[in-house]
Amino acid sequence: MPWLKITFVVKRDQLDFVTERLELAGAQSVTFEDAGNHPLFDMQDGESPVWDNSLATGLFNAERGLDTVIAELTGTFAPKNLPEYRVASLPDQDWERCWMDRFQPMQYGRDLWICPTWCDVPDPDATNVMLDPGMAFGSGSHETTRLCLQWLTRQQLVGKKVIDFGCGSGILAIAALKLGAASALGIDIDPHALQASSNNAKINNVSENLELVLPRQLPENSLGDVVFANILAGTLIDLKSYLLGMRAQQGVLVLSGILLTQETLIINAFEPGNILEVEKEGDWLMVTVKEKASTGNITGTIQ
C-alpha cells in the first residue's frame, strides 16, 4: 500500500510527547534521525540515541487521506498547536526486495568477499563469507569493520587464535577462520549478538572452531594471537588493561570504532610499552597495538 510520511522537528525534551501523539493518530511506525549533523558516540548502556533536535517521522496509510491524518494529529496534539511539519508520499513497493538490493557482495583485499546469502558469490575460488545484515552490528559496510577486514586479508593466520571482543554478527571471527585461523573466540554483552554469530558460523561451516561467550563466561587466561576490539573509543580506553591482557606474547591488539578526532586519546592511552600503527578511512581509524621488545623492535610476528 502507499504511505504518507509526516515529519516534525522535535526538541530533545519533546520526543516522548511527539512519539505518543503520532502513535495515537495511527502511525504504523515512528522513527528518529538527527535534524542536524551531530552523530552520537560512546552512549552508555541503555541510553537512546537522541539529539538536541531530531526529525520524528510517522508512517501512515495513505488510503486514509492527508486531510484525515492531519485532523487526527491536530486532535492528538490539542490543546497544543500542531507543530510545523512536512509531508512526503511513498509509493507501494516491495520493501523486502528494496532492503535486499541495498546489500551486495563486498570485496576486501584480493580474495575475501562478504556476501549476503541471497546473492551468488562473484568468485567461487575466493574466500567467501556468507552473512546477512541483521540485528547485530557488522555487515562489512561500515568503515570500522572494513578497516579490520582489509587488515585481516594481509595477515598470515594459519595456526593462530583470534579473539573478537564485541563480536556483533561474528563477521571478523568468521572471516579469520575462513582465512586460516585455527580457532576464534567471540565475546559480546548482547545475547542476540551471540545468537547472530552462532547462526552465521553455521552458515559458513566454522561452528566447531568458534566459541561464543558473554564477558562473565570468558575462560580464564584466554589469550589471542590477534585480539579485535571494534567498539567505541571511550570503552576501549576503559578496558585498556583488560584488552591488553588478552593479547598473547608476540600478538597484536586491533582497535577500531575510533573517530579521527579521538586519535590522540587512543594514542596516549595505548602507546606506553607498545608500537602503534594507524590506518584511516573516511572519518574513522583503526590502530594496531604491538608490544615493544626490550631492544625496541616490534615483537609481533603477524604482519
Domain ranges of the chain: 3-92, 141-291
- CA dist 150 and 165 (Å) reads 18
Cβ atoms within 10 A of the Cβ of 4, count? 20
Give the full edge-to-edge strand order of the sheet including 127-130: 106-108, 112-115, 127-130
Q: What is the pLDDT of residue 300?
A: 38
Q: Which residues of 210-242 are buried (b: 16+ CB within 10 A; e: fewer)?
A: bbbeeeeebeeebebbbbbbbbbbebbbebbee
pLDDT of residue 133: 65
How confident is the chain (303 residues) per 10-residue block, as mean pLDDT?
85 83 87 60 42 81 91 90 87 62 84 90 94 65 89 96 94 97 94 90 96 92 94 91 95 94 95 96 94 54 36
* pLDDT tens string 134-167: 645 566 678 889 999 999 999 999 999 999 999 9
User: Grid coordinates representing 40?
Assistant: 552520537
| pLDDT of the residue at 98 | 59
pLDDT value for 29: 82
pLDDT at 41: 41
Question: Tens of pLDDT along 275-284?
Answer: 999 999 988 9
Indicate the CATH number for domain 3-92. Answer: 3.30.70.120
- Dist. CA 160–CA 177, nearest whole Å: 9
CATH number of 141-291: 3.40.50.150
Cell of 30: 515512528
Half-sphere exposure at residue 269, Cβ-oriented, CA atoms within 13 angstroms: 19
